[in-house]
């Protein structure tokens, strides 16, 4: 339909977060080559990149419900340890983990936008503040990668 109306693709959208980095493979290069923007969805990895699961799986959370993309078995002790380390790093940056995760995405070259999917005004307010601190040092980026590659 777009070709018939001479409308070229302008934006590519994919799941992308600190925990889901598949687009870094060929998707970013394709976007650059084609002159496309990139929009990330699920930037908080279904809530994993918040402090929600640090002390277990709360009743009523996505992981506690049947169905959906996040399951109890996805929340392993190893993952929780990584989340705790990222949360501590975010605190050093004077951000919540969610803010740091969103800022990390917004700092990526070629990132056009991030779909946050907040479920409350409070979450949206917390997420918006991420734009106030999207600069990362080389050392911070290396620390994030080291934490995630443990």
All structural domains of the chain: 11-148 (3.20.20.100)
Q: What is the pLDDT of residues 105-147, one digit of tens each?
A: 999 988 999 999 887 898 889 889 999 999 999 999 999 999 9
> Could you give the C-alpha distances from 134 to 6, 31, 74, 114, in angstroms and in order?
36, 22, 28, 13
Length of the chain: 150
Q: Around Cβ 81, how many Cβ atoms within 10 Å?
A: 13
pLDDT bracket for residue 64 (50, 70, 90): low
Please give the structure tokens belonging to residue 52: 């929600």
Q: What is the pLDDT of residues 28-54, one digit of tens each?
A: 888 988 888 999 999 999 888 998 888
Sorted by sequence, the CB contacts under 8 Å of residue 80 that are 6+ apart come out as 53, 54
**Cα–Cα distance measured from residue 111 to residue 139, given in angstroms and rounded to the nearest whole number:** 21
What pLDDT score does 136 carry?
97
Cβ contact 35:46 at 8 Å: no
Mean pLDDT of the chain: 89
**pLDDT over threshold 70, residue 61:** no
Cβ contact 105:133 at 8 Å: no
The dihedrals phi and psi of 11, each to the nearest 5 degrees, come to -135, 140
């Amino acid at each position: 339909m777009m070709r018939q109306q001479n409308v070229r693709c302008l934006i590519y959208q994919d799941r992308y977060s600190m925990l889901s980095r598949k687009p870094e493979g060929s998707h970013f290069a394709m976007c650059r080559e084609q002159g496309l923007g990139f929009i990330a969805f699920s930037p908080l990895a279904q809530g994993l990149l918040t402090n929600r699961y640090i002390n277990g799986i709360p009743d009523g959370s996505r992981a506690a419900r049947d169905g959906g993309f996040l399951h109890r078995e996805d929340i392993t002790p190893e993952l929780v340890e990584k989340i705790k380390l990222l949360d501590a790093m975010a605190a050093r940056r004077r951000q919540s983990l969610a803010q740091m995760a969103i800022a990390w995405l917004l700092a990526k070259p070629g990132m056009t936008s991030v779909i946050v999917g907040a479920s409350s005004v409070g979450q949206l307010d917390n997420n918006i503040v991420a734009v106030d601190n999207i600069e990362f040092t080389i050392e911070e980026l290396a620390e994030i990668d080291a934490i995630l590659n443990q």
